[in-house]
Structures are given as structure tokens and as C-alpha cells.
Chain A
Amino acid sequence: MIIAAAREINDYERIFVGMRLPITAYGVARLTHAPNAVGLFESGVSRYEPAKDMLYTMCDGPNQLGAAWTTGLIQIMGLLSGGRVHAGFIGGAEIDRYGNINTSYIGDFDNPDVKLPGSGGAPDIASMAERLIIIMNHEKRRLVEKVDYITSPGFLGGGNERKMAGLSGGGPAVVITDRAILRPYGPKNELHLAAYHPNHTVQEILKNTGWDLKSIPDVHETASPTKIELEALHQIDKDGFWRN
């Protein structure tokens, strides 16, 4: 899953890296096919080379030592807001068929059933990056028909609703889960199944998705991790903390 996500980063791109799995995926990308990618962290850090030690938060010492730039949040997120970031990487608690993500409230926001931690910088990344890479676990209760609350906007109600809301570009380019890869497809920009990971089936994926997930015409199996990719992953995530 992390390796599939790492593959979405192109060389020389400026990538906004969100917490947890995205940091690991960026590290793998840099060590494999995207050695010139630039990582941007919303607390105010920009890095070329990944941190030498495992990170629990983006503010940890190893992420700052040898950084390309340490600055404030407005400066680094201003790059995003100014349209200078190629891709943003975020995780999601709940996602719907149009790639809208909920990390705030399940139920009514005035009286929630479940209070999730909140938005962090995710809405900013979701709205302003040229494209969004989403990474999350694939469970029916997390891939829902319609999120209760849109923390981070995908394509809203589909079609051109995102543009009508005032977001001129961007939007989810891909959703990577531990079972599959989904991509927006068709005029409504609805998420479709693009690939199923090795040892997973289309049937299983449909069963674990909360809407009638359609497939793209040439849906196929995700390419297996290469030896180089696996070595990079082990190097970045030495203790297996984020993989478990």
C-alpha cells in the first residue's frame, strides 16, 4: 500500500506530505524512482532527503536536521495556496464516491456520534494542491456512500461541483488502500476501481466498499513490490511502526 502510494509521486515534484503513512510513502519514493522530489511539511519544514530516523511527527528533530528550509506554517502552506505544489498526500478516516474526506464528525456536527480529530492541514491540501493522493485502509465503514461531513473536498457532489465551489483545479487523483487503487473516472468524476492488489479480488473489494463501486475498463492487478521498493520501505520504516 505504501509502495503503491510512493509510485504516485513523480520525480522533481513538490509534494505536500501529511501525517503517518504519507511520510513513509514519500521516503520510499525518494529512495526509489523520485530522487529529486521535494517534501513539504505543513508545520514549516521542507526537505530534499528523507529524515534519517523514523518520524512520529513532522516536527521531530530528525525531520529538521539537514532540512532544506525550516520556516512557519503560513510560508510553507502559502506555497500550496499560491498554486506551487504538484501533489498533496493525505490519509482519510472516511471517504465517499466523489473523494470527499471526513476526518471531523460522524453524525451531526452539532451532536456527533463520533468526534474525529479534525482537519489539520488536509482541507488546505485537498483544495489547493494540483492533485491529491489519498491513502487509507479499505473497510466498508470507511468507504461510504456519502460522508456526514466534508472536511477535505474531493469532487463534492460530482461533475463540476468542485469548480462551482470556487476550487479551480486539483482534486483526488488516486485513492490507495490496502486492497486496491481507485481513481476518478467519467464525467461525474466518480471513484472507480483501477487496480486490485495481489491476493485481493474484485469481489472482495466490492464487498468492502460502501457504494456500488464500478471498475474502469482495463482494471488490472497492481504490480507487485520490487526488491528495491521493499528495501526502501524497510529503510524508512525500520520498526514497522506505520505498517502495523
Chain B
Amino acid sequence: MGAALENAIPFAVTHELIRQRFQNLNMVAPISDISTDMLIGAGCVKTVTGAWVGNVSGGMGHNYRRAAEKGIPNTITINDYSNFSIGMAFFAGAYGLPYIPVKSILGSDITKSNSSIKMATNPFSDEHEPVALVPALKPDIAFLVVQRSDRFGNSHIWGSTGLTQEASIAAEKIIVLADEIVEPEVIASDPGRVLIPGFGVNAVCHVPAACHPSPLIGRWKRDNDFFHDYHKETRDRAGFENWCDQWIRHLPDHEAYRTKLGDRLETLRIIGDAPSAPANYAAE
């Protein structure tokens, strides 16, 4: 979860995983802002596979620290990657490559702390040219937030996409959370804006503002105060438990969450207009 980095994070899924008390999850993402931190605090996570876990605008993730330093609420295993190397791992996973050579983590202790990464030399070079071999990453499920989708899984995504394409195609299953459900003709009018193969999508859910508090381009602004408040309130364990009860556990579903946010959510709705120039696909 969080393939696009700081936007379009499927927080609605984060909340539901916590409500349903999932455990022993391996959370895979380059950076998923406070989503992974929440899941760790709620006892859902056994393994973290990624490049960064924390509170992007706030600082450290308190739950991540408590788990990694003290084993609270449980110990976690960390599979270290850099953004580019985890991207290439998804790329390998998406396109059937067993592993992929990268140079961008040479010299980094990531090659030491992540035992799945192997060192080798370029077999095509006469000189001794080190490369790091990163095995393919294939998540079980990829959850994506998209601006709009038809009910068959064909979706439009715009803005920066991070590792959305590679991580989804590498995943065994794809679940799409659409801010808006549209008719198939809308998606078919611009196949260039389709990022992931609709025929590979297992389920489409209509969840407005599933991304809150992260932004969704053209739809929802980032709720910066929410991240700031989370940072403050989860500084200690009791604070997190209280926060989690208030915002997740005591709410039955995402609709209740949106109701609780109320006007606050409305102020984050993007109402401006900055449409792109139309692209004419006519064939004659």
C-alpha cells in the first residue's frame, strides 16, 4: 500500500485492516507516510518491506520506533530498500525477471542489512564492475486509490504515480478504490490515462476520499494538520491507542470516518478547475 508515495495512500484500507484485526502482515511500499506506522501500532505488522517509514511532514513514526527499538507491540522484521531498488524489484516482479542488477545501492549498508540482496559483478565487463542483484518482489495484493474507475476495473490515474504501475502488475491481486465510479465510455475515451490493466483488477470499490489524509490529485487536498496531530498524539503508546480508538476502532466503516471528519473533509475537496488539453483519438 502506498505505491504512489505520498499521494493516493489507501488509508481506508489501513483502517479496515486495523478494524478487522489482521496480523502478521508484510507491509510493502516505498513510502506510505503514516499508514504503515498506524498498522504497526495496531499490532497488524510483522514485516516492513520498504524504503522509508515515518510521518513525512511530522518527522519520525513513533509506533515504528517503538516496534523496532523495543518490540512494542511486537517485534518487526525490516527489509531495507532504497526507492529505486524497491522500484526495480517490483519491475522485475511485474515482468517475470527473477532479479535485476542495480548500482544505486552500492556503497550503502542496505546491501548488508537486507540479506536477500546479493553482490555480483557485471559478466559483460572486462573490468571488475560491482552490481547489486535485487530479487523480484511480488506482493500478494496491491491496493490502489484512483481518481475514477468504471465498474470493471478500468481506471484513470493522473499525477505522479510512483511505483503504482510496477507494484500493481507485480501483485497477485489488485484492488482498486475509486474516488468516483464512471461509465466505461469515460475511461475508454482516454486509454492513454490508464495505468494498470483493467483486466488484471480483482475488485473495484467506490470509496470517496479513501486517501484521506493524503492528497489525491484533482480530488482531495492533503490534510496537513491531521498528520501533525497524529505525530503529537501518538508520541506515547497510550496516546496512539486513544487516537486509534477515536479515529478507527470506534467507527464501523469509512463512511462513519467521513461523517466524523464532516466539514473538515469538505474544506479539502478540490473545487478548482485545471483541465488538461483534450487529446483527439478519432480514427477518421
- What's the least CB distance linking B237 to chain A, in Å? 15
Q: What residues on B are CB-neighbors of A124 within 8 Å? A: 82-85, 104-105
Cα distance A153–B109 in the bound complex, in angstroms: 8
Cα distance A120–B84 in the bound complex, in angstroms: 9
Interface check A113, CB cutoff 8 A: yes
- What's the least CB distance linking A241 to chain B, in Å? 9
Q: A57-B222, A166-B129 are in contact. Are A156 and B54 (CB under 8 A)?
A: no
Interface check A64, CB cutoff 8 A: yes
Size category of the B interface is 35 or more
Q: Mark A34-65, 1 if CB is under 8 A from B, else 0.
A: 00000001111100000000001111110011
B4 touches A59 (CB 8 A): yes
- What's the least CB distance linking A235 to chain B, in Å? 19
Q: A59-B4, A80-B84 are in contact. Are A152 and B60 (CB under 8 A)?
A: no
B104 touches A127 (CB 8 A): yes
Residue of B52, B109, B129, B162 touching A150 (CB-CB under 8 A):
B109
B215 touches A165 (CB 8 A): no
Q: What residues on A are CB-neighbors of B65 within 8 Å? A: 114-115
- What's the least CB distance linking B108 to chain A, in Å? 4
Q: Which one of B163-171, B183-191, B244-252 contacts A?
A: B163-171
Cα distance A44–B109 in the bound complex, in angstroms: 25
Residue of B103, B112, B160, B163 touching A59 (CB-CB under 8 A):
B160
Cα distance A116–B130 in the bound complex, in angstroms: 28
Cα distance A142–B62 in the bound complex, in angstroms: 20
Q: Which residue of B lies closest to A102 (CB)?
A: B109
Cα distance A124–B108 in the bound complex, in angstroms: 9
Cα distance A113–B68 in the bound complex, in angstroms: 9
B83 touches A120 (CB 8 A): yes
Q: Which of B83, B108, B109, B270 has the most CB of A within 10 A?
A: B108
Residue of A19, A114, A120, A153 touching B51 (CB-CB under 8 A):
A120
Interface size on A, residues (CB 8 A): 52
Q: Mark B31-51, 1 if CB is under 8 A from A, else 0.
A: 101000000000000000011
Interface check A24, CB cutoff 8 A: no
Q: Which one of A7-15, A68-76, A190-198, A208-216 contacts B?
A: A68-76
8 A Cβ contacts from A140-198 to B? 149-153, 156, 162, 165-167
A45 touches B160 (CB 8 A): yes
A61 touches B217 (CB 8 A): yes
- What's the least CB distance linking A78 to chain B, in Å? 8
Q: Which of A80, A123, A150 has the most CB of B within 10 A?
A: A123
Interface check B99, CB cutoff 8 A: no
Interface check B81, CB cutoff 8 A: yes
B215 touches A74 (CB 8 A): no
Residue of B52, B82, B162 touching A44 (CB-CB under 8 A):
B162
Cα distance A170–B20 in the bound complex, in angstroms: 48
Residue of A60, A64, A77, A166 touching B84 (CB-CB under 8 A):
A77
Cα distance A151–B51 in the bound complex, in angstroms: 10
- 16 pairs, CB–CB < 8 Å, chain A vs chain B: A44-B5, A56-B57, A57-B5, A59-B215, A60-B215, A67-B160, A70-B158, A71-B160, A77-B104, A104-B113, A118-B53, A120-B82, A121-B84, A123-B104, A124-B83, A165-B106
* Chain A residues in the interface with B (C-beta under 8 A): 19, 41-45, 56-61, 64-65, 67, 70-74, 77, 80-81, 104-105, 109, 112-124, 126-128, 149-153, 156, 162, 165-167
